[in-house]
A = this chain, B = another copy of it.
Amino acid sequence: MAWVSWLPSMLLLFPIFASTAVFSLPAFFPRAPLQSLTQRAQTLKDPKLPFTTHFFPQQLDHFTFQPKAYKVFSQKYLMNSTYWDQGPNHTAPIFVYTGNEGNIEWFAENTGFMLDIAPKFHALLVFIEHRFYGESMPFGKESYESAETLGYLTSTQALADYAVLIRSLKQNLSAEASPVVVFGGSYGGMLAAWFRLKYPHIAIGALASSAPILEFDTITPWSSFYDAVSEDYKDESMNCFEVIKESWNELMAVAARKGGMLELSKTFRACKSLQSVYSVHDWLWTAFVYTAMVDYPTAADFLMPLPAYPIKEMCRIIDGFPQGESKLTKVFSAANLYYNYSGNKSCFDIENGTDPHGLHGWDWQACTEMVMPMTCSNESMFPSSSYDYNEFGDECMAKYGVRPRPHWITTEYGGNRIDAVLKRFGSNIIFSNGMRDPWSRGGVLRNISSSIIALVTEKGAHHLDLRFATKDDPKWLLEQRKQEIDIIQSWID
């Protein structure tokens, strides 16, 4: 069950529950011990992915010069040179994936677009693992030990890693004339966009898919993420939306009555008797939120194996029950689709993996740089909640011994008035978003200039465009990818 238990934390941008104080186990607390990450690295779904594995001696700290800043760690990267034909002028491009918060194989598996287009561009493919994820652990098994070690887990250091590694790689391959295009999805997309902005001398352009670079400060309304999730369900069926919206009260009511936890354990087929109602709450929440993110038009296995249009399927399940059936039975059955599409699970380890001593990279990042305030409005299908910087800061302090710097991201990378700022500055970025994905609300949804382009699909979901092409891909997805290819081609030309 390791697969299930670490999944929520693995999730690129794990939605931080709004009113964390309500829950005994706020979602940004680690759910999985570190070893499940490294286990994961050894259990690739497709060990035959056509990449060779390499390690680069990377500098621990690019921005200070204490003796310890010079410590070197092994940064993992994957390469595929099958299609790389440098030609007489040695100018075939290099496509680099700027890894995000997980082991790099996972992103390579789920970014088939780069493999799909490599032959056309004769491109070299490089997937670089983000420091402090996968096997790229600066302090080995002690990397997550404390703020002393985790302190080096930042986006700015990660971008500098990519710059140093790419430059070295080009030199070693005698490929100085090869243009570099960076690709990334989700947090990786944010990194790709920021990389183009901060290191234009290293990358000629960036495809930033589902990159919510505007999910900071007050740029995007704080309720928009959960409102978007809710709309996805409401669009499918008003009954579906209402059942989910009303289920939270029923959950609490059942838990509060005598024998309620036992009842919940049965309803939710818990392998072990449930101790806390909040674990069920989180379990359901996770299923609904992440299914919205991966509401793909084809069957896929990004977070979990799911059918095409999984929200439609979930709502079909909910709507299929007789009106009088308990809401908890309905939402359990919907969540069962997310956790058990294969159908081979007879029970769920709902409270397993919520290891209070486990450590997890994104939680640290959310507690330092990646402060994305989120609330649930009354219009959402979730219990309404507010957000308080101080409260959040106190929790991070208790957890890690450091406070978030909530305005640092917009200071370092911008975001406010992005249209005005980038209209006459910067170039060659594609921001692609699918509106089914709640993260789209924090993305760039309108063209900023003739070369900073927004590609928006109404029915797309979380970095759908980056996935391998399938025979079932809808026309609008083929069209989106074609646009991306044409734009990338124009950068290279």
Contacts and interface: CB of A to CB of B under 8 A. Distances in A.
Given A164-B411, A424-B451, A154 B63 contact: yes
Nearest to A415: B201
A249 to B, nearest CB: 39
Interface in A157-175: 157, 160, 163-164, 167
Given A62-B408, A151-B65, A403-B70, A198 B201 contact: no
Interface string A395-417: 00000011101011011111111
A479 B363 CA distance: 56
Chain A residues touching B, majority SS:
loop
Interface in A271-328: none
Interface in A47-86: 59, 61-67, 69-70
Nearest to A451: B424
Contacts of A401: 67
A427 interface: yes
Contact of A201 (B150, B160, B421): B421
A411 B64 contact: no
A202 B425 CA distance: 12
Nearest to A153: B65
Given A69-B151, A70-B403, A412-B160, A198 B198 contact: yes
Contact of A156 (B63, B405, B415, B428): B63
Interface string A367-387: 011000000000000000000
Contacts of A199: 414
A427 B369 CA distance: 28
B425 A200 contact: yes
A121 interface: no
B147 A65 contact: yes
A369 B69 CA distance: 13
Contacts of A417: 201
B66 A64 contact: no
A394 to B, nearest CB: 15
Given A402-B70, A424-B428, A64 B151 contact: yes
A148 interface: yes
Nearest to A164: B411
B67 A402 contact: yes
Contacts of A418: 201
Contacts of A33: none
Nearest to A418: B201
A107 B66 CA distance: 28
A167 to B, nearest CB: 6
A14 interface: no
A154 B416 contact: no
Identify the interface centre among A63, A167, A202, A426: most chain B CB within 10 Å of its CB: A63
A201 B416 contact: yes
Contact of A66 (B147, B413, B427): B147
B411 A152 contact: no
A283 to B, nearest CB: 31
Contacts of A59: 405
A369 B61 CA distance: 13
A424 B63 CA distance: 27
8 contacts: A59-B405, A64-B151, A65-B402, A70-B402, A160-B412, A163-B412, A164-B411, A201-B418
Q: Which 9 A-B pairs have the closest CB atoms?
A: A201-B414, A66-B151, A63-B63, A200-B425, A65-B368, A64-B151, A65-B151, A201-B421, A63-B156
